[in-house]
Structure 1
Amino acid sequence: MPVYSLEIDDFSDNDYALIGIHTTLEDYKLAFFLNQHLKTNFKRASYNLDFENKNYNSSFAVYENKNASQHFDWYLISNVFKTKIQSNTAGLFPESDTKVYLIPEKKRVDFFIKIDGEFDYEYIVKTVEAINKLPQVITSYSIETNTLKSKESLIF
């Protein structure tokens, strides 16, 4: 009898593009400016991306822009979660502020835009150019998803 094996890549959908955004804005303000300038309709999702660890739990904000007419969906995802961790030692500072990253290898990225669906590379280039025109955005650029070690965090 033949033996079949499945790889994790058999279940993942790589039909998405990823854009990294550097900005000092809060998530809701960035969603507002993107809606104004890109004519998107980002709304706060009813869920967060939640992860559990032995030391802490993290929750990353998600905004959705569903576009059935153009056959793709946009997601604005925070890359940074700030938390306080209690120290087990009785020192001067019993707790410390810690940052947890959704994609640890991209620590300098503040937000990601994940675009699911059918699109061409030129569309992504034009979108990055439009985002870079926002005065509140420091920079944005396309990210190759194949180079990310923790791309499983973006599957939802």
Structure 2
Amino acid sequence: MNALTQPIVAGQPLAKSQHDLHNARTLLDATLRFVRQQAKTTEDPYVISRFGDVQIRIEVAAALLERAEDFLDRHEDNTEIGIAIAESHLASAEALSTASNAEFELTGQRSPLPGSLHDPLRWKLHLIGNFRLNGIHPPSFSTVTEGAV
């Protein structure tokens, strides 16, 4: 079950995005503290641009989360809400993955994070793209699960 196929329940659909975004910010802060302790590292152009990349992805995820929250608050069309939620999930998962990879690249350590195997992100990319490009509404939950069996 994912954001495009699950029933929309107030307060729950964006919990994953909020959790991933929080973890991404926490990882970024921890990585910043570690790197700042390494005097020469803070001047390395790769390190500087890596932090810029992580920061931008976190800000994009935060903006998409806020947009999805606005859609939910305004009770927009269920398809548009589902698409906005999926976009938020994808962006926050990408921000978390980028922050985790940057942590490993810059500190040599990786914090354990829960996986997203229960929430296939590639499938969301296809559903979002198919809706935006072709106007095809995402299938219902029963159609998605029947195809996955």
Compute the TM-score of the two structures, normalised by the length of structure 1.
Answer: 0.28
The structure, 1 or 2, with the larger RCO (C-alpha pairs under 8 Å, 6+ apart) is: 2
Structure with the higher fraction of residues in strand conformation = 1
